Structure 1
Amino acid sequence: MPPEPATPLAKRLCERIAQDGPLTLAAYMEACLTDPESGYYATRQPLGARGDFITAPEISQIFGELIGIWTIATWQALGQPDEITIAELGPGRGTLMRDALRSWRNFPDFRRRVRIALVEKSETLKSVQAETLAPEIEQEPPAPVTWHDSLETVPEGPLIVIANEFLDALPIRQFIRRGSAWHERLVTCTETGALAFMEGDRPAEALPGLDRFESARDGAIAEIRPDAAPLISSLAKRAKAAPLASLFIDYGPEVFGPGDTLQAVSAHGFADPLADPGAADLTAHVDFGALSQQAAQEGLSAYGPMPQGEFLLKLGLAQRQEQLMKTATPDQRPMLASGANRLIDPQQMGVLFKAFVLTGSGGGGRGLPPPPPFYSSPQS
């Protein structure tokens, strides 16, 4: 008898592989992150000091407050519609939206026009988000909040989308260059019950995005993110009916090239992505160039990517930090300073993380002004 796989999810994956053959990396990531019984996001609260990683909203309240100010300026750029939906994709614990709501207290005319839509599949995180947002939702004027499993059920009309560290968790597929062909990198189960990478025997079919790596050397790994395409298409479809702006903040290089960027994070450290499926967060770098290319093909304007540090400083991070320092206690000041610095420091999150915006004018024939702080022409 061969040894049993290490976890219940690993066992189910091995059974699936035995029946259907090796898994694409995208199928493996999807199972690890969303499996209803053992998936990472379905079964735990990953964020915070007691979780596995900390995102920008958890590091400093200034992040969410500045995003809140960005939404007001963007609403103005969209023509100040009477009603505006602010949708957040993957809202985590609700910290970003809570801080954005707090920043809107001083703008009651904007706040009374806002409807908040949180796109979240995890029932565990939905409960946490409701608890986090409760004190701010009750402020006057009230800001109604609804939860959605996908963007498709978010109400029609003018829309601003916020997505912080959302794209990096969308599953990827990997391909290895062999001569003039690409062979897909797959996940299989060994005789010992362990999950392992393998290379597909046959050349892969031509897939959208692989043509971006035609100059790659033999043995290079190319990554594509299939689930990003329908998201961009969904945004483009909505932008034909009503004004739209989407802000993505995520990590990846300015120019995306070949390489293996898959990583697993557990307990604030890196882990083997195949060792304990469902117990670690799985992410990969974002190809902003591929997003821009598709956005342009579908009629959207793309701005960025802009380094996160530059983005936040242009939105007023230094000024907001100075304001908070004036009322902070001596014990709070070091934390305020270190948190703000972590967001903008080139050696931490200031350069690797990028801000990227897509806009659409709603089909009215009038182009929108550049979104703040991208006061220049969009990418062609």
Structure 2
Amino acid sequence: MAAANAHYYATRDPLGAGGDFTTAPEISQMFGELIGAWAADLWDRAGRPAVAWVELGPGRGTLTADALRVMARAGLTPPVHLVETSPTLRAAQAARVPGATWHDSLATLPEDVALIVVANEFFDALPIRQLVRGRDGWHERLVACQDTLFLPIAGARVPDTILPPDLVTAAPGAIIETSPASVAVMADLSARIVAQGGAALVIDYGYDGPAVGETLQAVRGHAFANPFEAPGNQDLTAHVDMATLGLVATASGATLSGPVGQGAFLTALGIAQRAAALGPAVAADHMRLVEDMGALFRVIAATHPHWPQPAGFA
């Protein structure tokens, strides 16, 4: 999954009508604007400290561009840092966010200021591992190649002690997904927030796990595809276990807000009022962000323990 997605994102712009999928910032300017307002409000209530803006997997740079426009009106004009490895997407981001600094990973982000980090549909593209329940216990699911055909197979049995106790006796055929890569990124982010100040906002489609079920999927041409076909030529994703990311954040000493649904989050930030100001032309976009994506997409925030609670979380 990691190798396939690395090639996929490095060789194309996958967004929009001519691509494979569309994200919330590309649906409407309202999304990025509200995230910018969220950041400016939190920064203001935290005492207006020196901060840097960071976006993980920023797509075309649309969210950051829309957020910066709103933040500037509130007096917040932070330096921009984008974590992106795709040369194609970096070029698109440079056109929308002049003056940004790019990073291949979190390792080179600034360490001398507080960070306001946004990760929208970032974690879902990170690689997962799957365990499948056989008749004799749990096995790691692996990928085999026969001629040019990729297919999933069961590997060696794994000990029951690594499973959540309530899932050990699940029925044969059950699948559990984990994402060590996501845990590592969230641990790094949370540690930085605790050490430097600031907040990390995570928005993604997911669930409050752990849970049994397979969510690995491929998208190509705005339709679902077989994830074991055409590796590197279609987007591979899996639903994000937001509860686990939240536990990682609190274990690092950060304060957790959420999870809440994206619909409730955007509504609390004032999307209805913004949609009314923009007029009837955005009514369908409003409903898509709040209703169609509202429950499936989940939102959490990890903040420095001395920073105020961010808006959008009841």
- Counterpart in the other structure of 1:49: 17
Any idea what the Cα deviations from partners look like across 1:294-333, whole Å, max 9, x if unmatched? 22222122211111111001101011111111xxxxxxx4
Q: 2:195 aligns with which of 241, 253, 269?
A: 241
Larger Rg: 1
> Matched residue pairs, number?
313
Give identity over the alignment, percent: 46
Q: 1:252 aligns with which of 206, 210, 216?
A: 206
Map 1:118-267 onto structure 2 (within 5 A): 118-134=82-98, 144-156=99-111, 157-178=113-134, 181-190=137-146, 192-200=147-155, 202-204=156-158, 213-214=167-168, 216-267=170-221
Quick one: structure 1 residues 292 and 228, their matched pair in 2 at CA, closer, same or farther if it must change by over 3 Å? same
Quick one: structure 1 residues 208 and 163, their matched pair in 2 at CA, closer, same or farther if it must change by over 3 Å? farther
- Counterpart in the other structure of 2:295: 351
d(CA) in 1 for partners of 2:236, 2:27? 21
Q: CA shift at 1:104, angstroms?
A: 2.5
Q: CA shift at 1:207, angstroms?
A: 8.4
- Counterpart in the other structure of 2:246: 292
d(CA) in 1 for partners of 2:83, 2:210? 28
- Counterpart in the other structure of 1:110: 76
Return 5+ residue gaps in structure 2 as ranges.
Answer: none
For the 8 Å contact 1:308–1:344, the answer to whether it is kept is yes
Aligned-pair Cα RMSD in Å: 1.8
For the 8 Å contact 2:207–2:243, the answer to whether it is kept is no
Quick one: structure 1 residues 245 and 50, their matched pair in 2 at CA, closer, same or farther if it must change by over 3 Å? same
SS in 1 for 2:69: helix
The TM-score, its normalising length taken from structure 2, stands at 0.94
For the 8 Å contact 2:203–2:297, the answer to whether it is kept is yes
d(CA) in 2 for partners of 1:110, 1:315? 18
SS in 2 for 1:309: helix
Map 1:275-286 onto structure 2 (within 5 A): 275-286=229-240
Return 5+ residue gaps in structure 1 as ranges.
Answer: 1-28, 135-143, 326-332, 362-366, 376-380
d(CA) in 2 for partners of 1:250, 1:174? 20
Residue 372, structure 1, aligned to residue 311, structure 2: yes
Any idea what the Cα deviations from partners look like across 1:241-281, whole Å, max 9, x if unmatched? 22121101100124441111000000000001111111110
Counterpart amino acid of 1:238? Answer: R
d(CA) in 1 for partners of 2:243, 2:168? 15
Q: CA shift at 1:75, angstroms?
A: 1.2
Any idea what the Cα deviations from partners look like across 1:48-104, whole Å, max 9, x if unmatched? 1111000000001100000000111121343321x2111000000001011112212
- Counterpart in the other structure of 2:38: 70
- Counterpart in the other structure of 1:318: 272
The TM-score, its normalising length taken from structure 1, stands at 0.78
Q: CA shift at 1:208, angstroms?
A: 6.4
d(CA) in 1 for partners of 2:51, 2:299? 22
